[in-house]
Every structure is written in structure tokens, then in C-alpha cells.
Amino acid sequence: MSLKKQFLKSKPVCKVTFLISEEEAKGANKVELLGDFNDWKSEDAIELKKFKNGTFKVTIDLETEKEYQFKYLLDSKQWENDWEADKYVHSGVGSEENSVVIV
């Protein structure tokens, strides 16, 4: 898993690319991104594109100078954190944590 950030000079936006390898996707056919940026709503989940090599990837625009909690949802049933997130915070559910991207 990885996060790639590209800050735009013309506006306060960062293009953040979320990438999951085939191994990290654990054989999933579909990977969705949910977090603060879509109010954790499954109907607004951002689906990552699956490539021939088995990796999943999506790039979204996020407002800068903020932190966003997020998680990946594999095949609509298994939650997964990003192993290379900027940090992790308690999710408020049991001992679960959410990944955080800082832009």
C-alpha cells in the first residue's frame, strides 16, 4: 500500500493517489475507499481501479492543511488499513484504528 501526494501550486488541493498491491488486496475483486472525505457512506465509496497486474489504484483531490481518516473495504466485507499511512487514530469502535493521510 502506498500514498503518493502531489500538491498543486495553483490552488489549495493535493492529488492523493491510493495504491494497493495484489498481495495487500488479499485476492479481492473490488476495493473501495471510504473516509472523512465521503462521510464514510458506502453509497459514496470511491472504487479503486483494478489493473492487469492485480494492483488497485485511485487518485482523488483533497483540500490541503487537513487530516483525513480512511480505510479500504475489500469485496464489501473486510476493512483494511493502509500500511503506509501518515498515522493511525482510534476509530471509536473497540480497539480498531483508522488510517490517516495528512495533506
Sorted by where each begins, the domain ranges of the chain are 2-102
The yes-or-no verdict on residue 44 having pLDDT over 90 is yes
In which region does residue 91 sit, left (phi positive, over 0), alpha (psi from -120 to 50) or beta (all else)?
A: alpha
Which pLDDT band holds residue 38 (cuts at 50, 70, 90)?
Answer: very high
Q: Domain 2-102 carries which CATH code?
A: 2.60.40.10
Decide if pLDDT at 56 tops 90.
Answer: yes
How many residues are listed for the chain in this entry?
103
Which band of pLDDT confidence, cut at 50, 70 and 90, is reported for residue 93? confident
List C-alpha distances in Å: 101 to 3, 70, 86.
Answer: 8, 8, 5
Determine the residue type at 50: K
Query: What is the spatial distance between Cα 85 and Cα 72, in angstroms, rounded to a whole number?
Result: 12
Phi and psi at 101, nearest 5°, equal -110, 130
